[in-house]
Amino acid sequence: MSGRRSRSRQSSGTSRISEDQVNDLITRLQQLLPELRDSRRSDKVSAARVLQDTCNYIRNLHREVDDLSERLSELLANTDTAQAALIRSLLSQ
């Protein structure tokens, strides 16, 4: 226990936080990731791996949102009737 505390104190100035709490958060994060969720051998997936995959996943999502934004902007700009058609279709369905 004292070893754990000293380790966490060494790692960075901010971590008065228990390792368990951090590990718990990382586990929750792991369950969100599509690639790590299915093969969830929780002992064997390291925290660094989870974090790395999280970063990649967020970047992927950002890129997807950017692509979708561009497509949306083209779709919105191309036809002026798009707005009317959109409203009509939303209201009718």
- Interface residues with another protein (CB under 8 A) are 11-12, 14-15, 17, 21-22, 25-26, 28-29, 31-33, 37, 47-48, 51-52, 54-55, 57-59, 61-66, 68-83, 85-93
Residue closer to another protein, measured from CB, 2 or 34: 34
Distance in Å from the first CA to the final CA of the chain: 61
Helix (H, G, I), strand (E, B) or coil at 55: helix
Least distance from another protein to the Cβ atom of residue 23, Å: 10
For the CB of residue 18, give the shortest distance to another protein in the complex, in Å: 9
Structure tokens at 46: 């390291």
Least Cα distance to 50 among 68, 23, 69, 30 occurs for 30
Q: How far is the CB of 22 from another protein (least distance, A)?
A: 6
